[in-house]
């Protein structure tokens, strides 16, 4: 098991009949979805700090061979002391090819899925899919909007595959260009054009946070 302060502790997992289960630590706090529901969006500093903590945790998971595959605001918990915790590894994928869901379907939440996740139908994915999903999450934290919307899952997934993401600075001119560029890099359509590791993503976020006045 992977134990790290920014990753929810999973103590056990298994199968009981047709039911897959895992036992995790109890958390008290709210998800970043709850924060967005209450506030609409957060400041660039806050958004980058939340994403930095999540990226650092996911980098550790990736380095141990685990890909999350369902990063989104509701799976990033903000504890009572303000620490981000990555939760819900129910779709976690070991690089060996084993998934806890075992359904053979393309798992994930459509609005946050990477293009290759949409196209893979459960096939090979690497850590760059989590990089994309965290980029989408950071986009929403900054703007209060998801980059791709539609009246159906199909329309959302089609937009992810074929439409360019909106420019954050055009949605809100107060968003720093440097942070907008980080998001755009994380959300590149083709995996080879993104950050190649979550650690690289975390380092760019770290540089932004350390060089930004807290507001």
| Cα-based distances in Å from 76 to 29, 58, 191, 192 | 11, 11, 23, 26
Helical ranges in 7-43 per DSSP H:
32-39
181 noted as active-site residue: no
Under 8 Å between Cβ of 22 and 13 = yes
Which of 91, 173, 180, 192 lies closest to 135, judged by CA?
Answer: 180
Question: Is residue 44 helix, strand or coil?
Answer: helix
Under 8 Å between Cβ of 85 and 7 = yes
Catalytic residue among 70, 88, 130, 204: 70
Question: How far apart are the C-alpha atoms of 62 and 74, rounded to whole Å?
Answer: 20
Who contacts 199 (Cβ-Cβ below 8 Å, separation ≥6)?
A: 55, 59, 62, 63
Question: How far apart are the C-alpha atoms of 85 and 66, rounded to whole Å?
Answer: 16
How much helix, strand and coil, in percent to the nearest 5, is found in the chain?
A: 45, 15, 40
Catalytic residues: 70
């Amino acid at each position: 098991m992977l134990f790290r302060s920014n990753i929810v502790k999973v103590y056990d997992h298994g199968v009981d009949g047709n039911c897959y289960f895992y036992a995790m630590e109890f958390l008290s706090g709210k998800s970043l979805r709850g924060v967005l529901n209450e506030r609409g969006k957060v400041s660039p500093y806050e958004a980058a700090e939340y994403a930095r903590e999540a990226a650092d945790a996911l980098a550790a998971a990736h380095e141990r061979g685990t890909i999350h595959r369902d990063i989104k605001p509701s799976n990033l918990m903000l504890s009572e002391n303000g620490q981000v915790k990555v939760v819900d590894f129910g779709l976690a994928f070991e690089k060996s090819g084993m998934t806890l869901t075992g359904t053979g379907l393309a798992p994930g939440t459509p609005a946050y899925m990477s293009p290759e996740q949409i196209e893979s139908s459960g096939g090979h994915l690497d850590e760059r899919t989590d990089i994309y999903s965290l980029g989408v999450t950071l986009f929403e934290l900054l703007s209060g909007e998801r980059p791709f919307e539609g009246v159906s899952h199909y329309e959302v997934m089609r937009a992810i595959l074929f439409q360019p993401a909106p420019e954050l600075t055009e949605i809100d001119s107060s968003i720093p260009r440097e942070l907008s560029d980080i998001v755009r890099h994380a959300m590149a359509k083709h995996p080879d054009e993104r950050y190649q590791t979550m650690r690289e993503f975390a380092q760019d976020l770290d540089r932004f946070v350390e060089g930004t006045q807290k507001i």
